[in-house]
Amino acid sequence: MAGLDPEIESRVLRLPPKERARLAERLISSLDESKDAENEKLWLEESERRLDELESGRVHAVPAEKVFKDARSRLR
Protein backbone atom coordinates (compact mmCIF):
# COMPACT_ATOMS: atom_id res chain seq x y z
CA MET A 1 0.00 0.00 0.00
CA ALA A 2 1.44 3.35 -1.04
CA GLY A 3 1.85 6.16 1.46
CA LEU A 4 0.18 9.54 1.32
CA ASP A 5 1.63 11.94 -1.23
CA PRO A 6 4.07 14.12 0.76
CA GLU A 7 2.92 17.26 -1.05
CA ILE A 8 -0.74 16.64 -0.16
CA GLU A 9 0.18 15.89 3.45
CA SER A 10 2.26 19.07 3.67
CA ARG A 11 -0.54 21.20 2.21
CA VAL A 12 -3.13 19.69 4.56
CA LEU A 13 -0.94 20.25 7.62
CA ARG A 14 -0.63 23.95 6.70
CA LEU A 15 -4.41 24.43 6.83
CA PRO A 16 -5.82 26.37 9.79
CA PRO A 17 -6.89 24.12 12.71
CA LYS A 18 -10.62 24.50 12.03
CA GLU A 19 -10.20 23.48 8.39
CA ARG A 20 -8.00 20.50 9.36
CA ALA A 21 -10.64 19.41 11.89
CA ARG A 22 -13.39 19.70 9.27
CA LEU A 23 -11.32 17.68 6.79
CA ALA A 24 -10.55 15.03 9.42
CA GLU A 25 -14.25 14.74 10.26
CA ARG A 26 -15.15 14.31 6.58
CA LEU A 27 -12.41 11.71 6.06
CA ILE A 28 -13.47 9.69 9.10
CA SER A 29 -17.11 9.91 8.12
CA SER A 30 -16.25 8.64 4.64
CA LEU A 31 -14.83 5.48 6.22
CA ASP A 32 -18.05 4.84 8.12
CA GLU A 33 -20.62 5.44 5.37
CA SER A 34 -21.25 1.75 4.73
CA LYS A 35 -21.59 1.09 8.44
CA ASP A 36 -24.13 3.84 9.17
CA ALA A 37 -27.18 1.60 8.78
CA GLU A 38 -25.65 -1.13 10.93
CA ASN A 39 -24.58 1.40 13.59
CA GLU A 40 -28.06 2.91 13.67
CA LYS A 41 -29.57 -0.57 14.12
CA LEU A 42 -27.13 -1.36 16.95
CA TRP A 43 -27.84 1.96 18.74
CA LEU A 44 -31.58 1.35 18.44
CA GLU A 45 -31.19 -2.13 19.95
CA GLU A 46 -29.02 -0.73 22.76
CA SER A 47 -31.47 2.07 23.55
CA GLU A 48 -34.36 -0.39 23.64
CA ARG A 49 -32.37 -2.68 25.96
CA ARG A 50 -31.58 0.21 28.30
CA LEU A 51 -35.20 1.39 28.31
CA ASP A 52 -36.32 -2.14 29.16
CA GLU A 53 -33.86 -2.26 32.07
CA LEU A 54 -35.19 1.07 33.40
CA GLU A 55 -38.83 0.11 33.02
CA SER A 56 -38.33 -3.30 34.63
CA GLY A 57 -36.50 -1.79 37.61
CA ARG A 58 -33.29 -3.78 36.99
CA VAL A 59 -31.40 -0.49 36.89
CA HIS A 60 -32.13 2.95 38.29
CA ALA A 61 -31.57 6.25 36.56
CA VAL A 62 -29.04 8.68 37.99
CA PRO A 63 -29.70 12.39 37.50
CA ALA A 64 -27.21 14.05 35.13
CA GLU A 65 -26.30 16.63 37.81
CA LYS A 66 -25.13 13.84 40.13
CA VAL A 67 -23.19 12.10 37.37
CA PHE A 68 -21.35 15.31 36.46
CA LYS A 69 -20.74 16.21 40.11
CA ASP A 70 -19.25 12.77 40.79
CA ALA A 71 -17.13 12.94 37.63
CA ARG A 72 -15.77 16.37 38.53
CA SER A 73 -14.90 15.25 42.06
CA ARG A 74 -12.98 12.25 40.67
CA LEU A 75 -11.00 14.49 38.33
CA ARG A 76 -9.75 16.71 41.15
Question: pLDDT, tens digit, for every residue of 59-76?
Answer: 999 999 999 999 999 998
Question: pLDDT, tens digit, for every residue of 4-49?
Answer: 899 999 999 999 999 999 999 999 888 876 677 788 889 999 999 9
Dihedral-angle region of residue 61 (phi above 0 means left; psi in -120 to 50 means alpha; beta otherwise) = beta
pTM: 0.46
Q: Is residue 13 within 8 Å of 20, Cβ to Cβ? A: yes
Query: Residue 34's pLDDT is what?
Result: 65
Distance CA 5, CA 76 (A): 44
Distance CA 37, CA 42 (A): 9
